[in-house]
Amino acid sequence: MDELEFARELACQAGDLLLEHYQVFGIKAGLKADRSVVTEADLAADRLIIQTIQESFPEDTILSEELHPGALTEGELHQRAVWIVDPLDGTTNFSLGLHIWGTLITRLVAGYPELTAMYFPLLGELYSSRRNQGAWMNGTQLHVQSPETGHPLPFFACCSRTFRQYSVSVPYKTRILGSSAYTFNLVARGMAIVGFEATPKIWDIAGSWLLVEEAGGSIETLGAGNPFPVQPAVDYAMTNYPTIAAATPQLASRTRLQIVPIREKSESNR
């Protein structure tokens, strides 16, 4: 089976498994070391994805948020490919009964995203992309919004931590969605003109990084190293990549000046 079709099918299978746990009374949830939420559903979906990848691509390496986090070795990076998995992006939304959550599966070749599938079951949205072949949602090709010809009320999508850690002065309406991938996917769809996530890990952004680029947009980190190519000995479970996605590089550069770390701003005012 083609790797992209495999990723699409597996993302949908994991999404269907998550639906079995959705709004089930008594589902157990806890906090990880970084204070993010993890549920039984995350772990069940992660096991399904990891087992299926290992059976179909035994020579490949897996970096997964729940069961295979941490650092990659030099030897693992020299294998054929690396799969980066977030079984449930938007866990807090999921645990609260909100609809924006999904499964993210991305395959890296030579350290860079080569293909991705991201499935949001309750929204009925399957995003996918392959390098140099465009970005798609449910069979429709995606394009970013032109600042000149886009929606007359463009909006800024971000996370709740943005306003605790940054002073924000973007000239757009703001929407907080609760899913890092969905924030950036809306930029790729041409719905949001700018997206920002303050503390995403590599599994939160790998698929959307490719999707935004293939939709014609710009995506980059803010004050952090570039996540790609992936490197050995980096503890990815402990590494955040504050990330901006925008319709154009010029808009991304302008937005960088409008999202300032609070400590940096307070020091500049002394």
d(CA 176, CA 191): 14
Q: Give which of 179, 134, 172 is closest to 154, Cα–Cα.
A: 172
Residue at 143: amino acid letter: H
**For the chain, counts of helices (H) and of strands (E):** 9, 16
Same domain? 164 vs 105: no
Position 202 in a domain: yes
Same domain? 181 vs 242: yes
- What does the block give as tokens for 161? 């931590």
Same domain? 122 vs 159: no
The CATH number of the domain holding residue 47 is: 3.30.540.10
Same domain? 13 vs 125: yes
Position 147 in a domain: no
d(CA 210, CA 147): 21
Same domain? 175 vs 100: no
- Domain final residue pick, 134, 165, 185: 134
User: Which residue segment(s) compose the domain that 97 sits in?
Assistant: 3-134
d(CA 255, CA 98): 29
Same domain? 129 vs 197: no
Same domain? 119 vs 164: no
The CATH number of the domain holding residue 236 is: 3.40.190.80
Position 140 in a domain: no
* Residue recorded with tokens 């939709």: 215
Q: How many residues does the chain have?
A: 270
Same domain? 120 vs 210: no
Position 116 in a domain: yes
Residue 122 in contact with residue 103, Cβ under 8 Å?
Answer: no
d(CA 82, CA 71): 12
- Domain final residue pick, 134, 164, 199: 134
- Domain final residue pick, 99, 134, 169: 134
Domain count, the chain: 2
What does each of the 270 residues of the chain score in pLDDT, given as a tens digit? Answer: 799 999 999 999 999 999 988 876 444 444 444 444 457 888 889 999 999 999 999 999 999 986 766 677 776 776 679 999 999 999 889 988 899 999 999 999 999 999 999 999 999 999 999 999 999 999 999 999 877 666 677 899 999 999 999 999 999 999 999 999 999 999 999 999 999 999 999 999 999 999 999 999 999 999 878 899 998 888 898 899 999 999 999 999 999 999 999 875 544 443
Position 143 in a domain: no
Largest CA distance in the chain: 60
